[in-house]
Amino acid sequence: MNIEYRDVRRKDKLNSPVFDVFDYKKRNVHHISQYWAYLILLGILVIGYLSNYNYKENLPKALGNTDLMHHSSEFIADRAWKDLKIITSFGTRPVGSYSNEVLTVDFLKREISYIKQTAHQIQRIEMDLQVATGSFWLGFKPHGMTS
């Protein structure tokens, strides 16, 4: 049985065979030039930088202890920073640890009771303490765990 093969290659002007695949010029309609991609990326970076700069410049100035007389009802950053230093001085605070579950809770209860004592008489401050216990099953595959 004789099989005849046809040459599917076209011939260019010099009569050398050239595959049509190499001469294919049709562009994809979804194609974006790399220059546009770089321009869009640069635009996103510039917009991100400007919005970050604008955000940082428009934040209010943190009030310190010296501003307490003029702004007694405002948030004083120095007092919050002092309380945060006290809480972090208790040590590491993973869930269930003594420093997190006992020392930090006692400190916050003392601070809230002090705020209740110094509050104006028309202000009513309530405090609720929630103690969560128990566990539940996390069904991960292939092995689960109890949280």
Task: State the pLDDT confidence band at 19, using cuts at 50, 70 and 90.
Answer: low
Asked whether residue 31 is assigned to any structural domain, the reply reads yes
What pLDDT is attached to residue 41? 95
Asked whether residue 114 is assigned to any structural domain, the reply reads no
Asked whether residue 81 is assigned to any structural domain, the reply reads no
Taking residues 97-107, report their average pLDDT: 92
Taking residues 41-45, report their average pLDDT: 97
Task: State the pLDDT confidence band at 110, using cuts at 50, 70 and 90.
Answer: very high
User: Structure pTM?
Assistant: 0.53
> For residue 81, is pLDDT > 90?
yes
Taking residues 117-135, report their average pLDDT: 87
Q: How far is CA 58 from CA 39, 51, 62, 79, 81, in A?
A: 28, 11, 12, 22, 21
Asked whether residue 142 is assigned to any structural domain, the reply reads no
